[in-house]
Chains A and B, each alone.
Chain A
């Protein structure tokens, strides 16, 4: 069953032992986020901070679905559901979009602060890491924007930093859907672009916002599909945008078509602070609405943050769909959390150099977030990292099995391996490691894997497994 809002989700993960409430005072300046950071690195529960220095009455929930257990609960599954089951659930629900419904009243309007009264420092915006460019309000958010020329409404999860009382800077990448809307539709006309930053919505709405979804697709319908129930939306105070009615906090703003300001640096999901600062967007807040006793949500970005689960699932399914659409005989895709959303494992029914090359070229046509792809044969379980590493180490030809594709203008500026110059020009490369057997090799000469399931007859395998069981192993 879908969780109607963040609070019902927090209650659900408390009941499964995946939430810890902290009532002692904690400092918003690095201490709170340091606890959350360690939580990511140690696969710890969500922390709900109930007592924040300087900000009585405010709470912060940290890393809502940064573990597979909490992702399972968000999807309405048992908390110990295995990862392939989560992938399968997402892939099935993604196929059945559910349109949102509009409502007139909601709790996210319990407090309405008009623009002239807005002070972003009244919110307990955390300083996430020592050495960040500023305090980050948007870490686990849902940013709504609308195309200037069509009905396309985009939800994305983008970082936003507080500059002063009313000014935010943000880094939806220029290749993101929001960036595309801004550059194609608003900047040429010199028009400000309305946005709404919704914070603390139900977890599957945030998952949909973070998802890799098609251009002109409406993520609110994806959220409805994942929830198996429509998302309720309510209109903003200062624009015709609609936001999830269950949001804890909504920041309504306008992105300048002709202004910039400092944004970043910021410790990001690949697990580094890479110095990508210098090219971002700048937005002026026009209103803030929030629930009473609001809960701000925080993703303590870095190694194994929430992207370890959200982008792992949505990115992998998106990769699979794209490869299928390009007639690549893909069987399964896994984006392992430890790879910082830079590594994908793709199993194919027919391998070889041509397929490996086509995989990496297909995945870098418009924007290139994944920089390394390991292509394996279909008998390798993509979720079994030991089996994948074995295939990679032994089957990828060191001279002829590596296929590099280079690009300019669409590289991932957060890729730590890039130089500062490459970041500025968004120049980069992606590589496919072909760990499949060449299709031209005769079956009677192709090496046989020396494992029980490959090098023994079915009869011996059955006998060995029976013996194994009898030994209590």
Chain B
């Protein structure tokens, strides 16, 4: 079975822009580590590209977009983003993206 991930997006159009974006992926591989988080710089494609892991996009209330994407991980990032507690996480990701 090919690898699958999911993300939570406030603005899905940013994720689907075709450029490199910073994301927090949830690894959906069955087993004890299912839902493990990983921060990455990646490119998302819809429709999915053959050979790439599947990516599902969920909204901020957790609803899954039924149309699948694929994700190409360019770089794994540190496990947390620089920002003071309670900072907007999505803005912190976008700042990391601009670096």
Residues of A within 8 A of B (CB): 29, 54-55, 121-122, 127, 129-135, 162-165, 167, 174, 179, 182-183, 187, 255-265, 267, 273-275, 277-282, 420, 424
Whether the pair A278, B60 counts as a contact (CB closer than 8 A) is: yes
Q: Could you say which residues of chain A place their CB within 8 Å of the CB of B33?
A: 121
List of 10 A-B pairs having minimum Cβ-Cβ separation, nearest first? A131-B62, A275-B60, A259-B80, A163-B37, A275-B61, A262-B24, A281-B85, A279-B86, A260-B83, A278-B89
Out of B35, B38, B60, B80, name the residue touching A282 (CB < 8 Å).
B80
Main secondary structure, interface of B, reads loop
Question: B residues engaging A (CB < 8 A)?
Answer: 8, 10, 24, 26, 31-39, 58-64, 79-90, 92
* Pairwise interchain contact B80-A133, C-beta atoms closer than 8 A: no
- Whether A262 touches B8, Cβ cut-off 8 Å, given contacts A134-B26, A163-B37, A275-B59, is yes
A187 touches B84 (CB 8 A): yes
Task: Tell me which residues across on chain A come within 8 A of B60, comparing CB atoms.
Answer: 265, 275, 277-278, 420
Chain A proximity of B87: nearest CB distance (Å): 5
- Bound CA span A260–B94, Å: 13
Instruction: For the complex formed, measure the closest distance between the CB of A263 and the CB atoms of chain B, giving whole angstroms.
Output: 7
Residues of B within 8 A of A275 (CB): 59-62
Q: Tell me which of A174, A259, A424 contacts B83 (CB under 8 A).
A: A259
Please name the residue on chain B nearest to A416 by beta carbon.
Answer: B61
A122 to chain B: which residues have CB within 8 Å? Answer: 32
Q: How distant is the Cα of A420 from the Cα of B64 in the complex, in angstroms?
A: 18
Most chain B beta carbons < 10 A, residue from A29, A127, A134, A257: A134
Q: Are B58 and A131 in contact (CB under 8 A)?
A: yes
With A130-B62, A132-B62, A164-B36 already in contact, 19 other A-B pairs whose C-beta atoms are closer than 8 Å: A54-B32, A121-B36, A127-B35, A133-B8, A135-B35, A164-B37, A179-B86, A183-B86, A259-B81, A259-B85, A260-B87, A261-B79, A263-B89, A265-B60, A265-B61, A267-B62, A280-B86, A282-B80, A420-B10
Complex contacts, B38 vs chain A, CB 8 Å: 164
Rounded to whole angstroms, the CA-CA distance of A206 and B83 in the bound complex is 31
By a CB distance below 8 angstroms, the chain B residues around A29 are: 34
Chain B residues near A174: list those with CB within 8 A: 85-86
CB distance from A139 to the nearest CB of B (A): 15
Q: Chain A: interface secondary structure?
A: loop
Contact residues in A for B32 (Cβ distance below 8 Å)? 54-55, 121-122
Contact of B87 among A131, A163, A167, A279 (CB under 8 A): A279
Residues of B within 8 A of A264 (CB): 8
Minimum CB–CB distance for A4 against chain B, Å: 32
Q: Which residues of A contact B84 (CB under 8 A)?
A: 187, 257-258, 260
What are 19 A-to-B residue pairs whose CB atoms are below 8 Å? Answer: A129-B62, A135-B35, A162-B36, A164-B37, A164-B38, A165-B36, A182-B85, A256-B80, A259-B85, A260-B80, A260-B85, A260-B86, A260-B89, A261-B80, A263-B89, A280-B85, A280-B86, A281-B86, A282-B85
Tell which of B37, B59, B83, B90 touches A134, judged by Cβ atoms closer than 8 Å.
B37
Q: In the bound complex, what is the Cα–Cα distance between A55 and B31 (angstroms)?
A: 10
CA distance A122 to B32 in the complex (A): 7
Q: Which residues of A contact B81 (CB under 8 A)?
A: 259-261
Please report the C-alpha to C-alpha distance between residue A149 and residue B9 in the assembled complex, in whole angstroms. Answer: 38
- In the bound complex, CA of A135 to CA of B28 (Å): 12
Decide: A259 and B37 in contact? CB cutoff 8 A.
no
**Across the interface, do A274 and B86 meet the contact criterion of CB distance under 8 Å?**
no
Q: Which residue of A lies closest to B83 (CB)?
A: A260
Tell me, rounded to whole Å, the shortest Cβ–Cβ distance linking B80 to chain A: 4
Tell me whether A261 and B35 are in contact in the complex, defined as CB-CB below 8 angstroms, given that A255-B85, A279-B89 are known contacts.
Answer: no
Q: A129 to B35, alpha carbons, bound, how many Å?
A: 13
Given A258-B82, A262-B24, A54 and B31 touching (CB < 8 A)? yes
Do B85 and A187 have beta carbons less than 8 Å apart?
Answer: yes
Q: How far is the CA of A183 from the CA of B63 in the complex (A)?
A: 32
Residues of A within 8 A of B86 (CB): 174, 179, 183, 260, 279-281
Known: A54-B31, A131-B63, A275-B61. A183 touches B85 (CB 8 A): yes
A261 contacts B24, C-beta separation under 8 Å: yes
Nearest chain B CB to A193's CB is how many angstroms away?
9
A279 surroundings in chain B (CB, below 8 A): 86-89
Q: Which residues of A contact B89 (CB under 8 A)?
A: 260-263, 277-280
Q: Which residue of A lies closest to B78 (CB)?
A: A259
B71 CB to nearest chain A CB (Å): 16
A411 to chain B, nearest CB (A): 14
Closest partner residue, chain B, to A173 (CB atom): B86
The residues of A that contact B90 with a CB separation of less than 8 Å are: 278
B34, B39, B62, B83: the one within 8 Å of A258 (CB): B83
- Chain B residues lying within 8 Å of A259, measured Cβ to Cβ, are 80-83, 85
The answer for the CA separation of A44 and B88 in the assembled complex, in Å, is 38
Q: How far apart sit A282 and B10, CA to CA, in the bound complex (Å)?
A: 20
- Chain B residues near A135 (CB-CB < 8 A): 35
Distance of A306 from chain B, by nearest CB (Å): 21
CB neighbours (8 Å) of B79 from chain A are 163-164, 167, 261
Q: Please indicate the chain B residues that have their CB under 8 angstroms from the CB of A255 in the complex.
A: 85
Bound Cα distance A211, B38 (Å): 35
